[in-house]
Amino acid sequence: MRACRGMGAINPSKMPGAKTIRRKDNPDEVTMYAKGGKLDISKAIKKPGALRSALGAKKGKPIPAAKLAKAAKAPGKLGQRARFAQLLKGFKKGK
């Protein structure tokens, strides 16, 4: 019987219910795997307004969904930014 080459054994310190998890590269930061950590999307947006300026949309007005869908099919940074904008649309509060 051959050994299975998969993801390997699960480290028990990353399993749910672990009390404290220390990172080896930075022992002071324990929030990476901690239960109930918040997701900070604002750090993911490196150049705010870049998609809007590339599409020629006016500031303060929403980007039309059809224009965003067309841009999402484009290659390169424009397509990446448009796909990310579509993803962020689903995170709207009050839904």
pLDDT (tens digit, 9 = 90+) per residue, 33-62?
445 556 677 778 888 899 999 999 988 899
Do the domain assignments include residue 45? Answer: yes
The answer to whether residue 4 sits within a structural domain is: no
Domain count, the chain: 1
**Digit-coded pLDDT (tens) for 8-17:** 555 555 555 5
- Residue 94 falls within a domain, yes or no? no
Q: Note whether 68 and 86 are within 8 A (CB).
A: yes
Give the residue among 62, 59, 37 at the shortest CA–CA distance from 49: 59
**In this predicted model, which residue has the larger pLDDT, 23 or 73?**
73
Q: Which of 57, 30, 17 is nearest to 85 (CA)?
A: 57
pTM score > 0.95 for this model? no
Count of alpha carbons within 13 angstroms of residue 81, beta-carbon side? 17
Centre a 10 Å sphere on the Cβ of residue 80 and count the other Cβ atoms it contains: 13
Residue 11 lies in a domain: no
Has residue 7 been placed in a domain? no
The domain containing residue 66 runs over which residues? 21-89
Question: Does residue 16 form part of some domain?
Answer: no
Model confidence pLDDT, tens digit, residues 71-94:
999 999 999 999 999 988 887 766
The residues near 59 (Cβ < 8 Å, ≥ 6 apart) are: 49, 52
66 within domain boundaries? yes
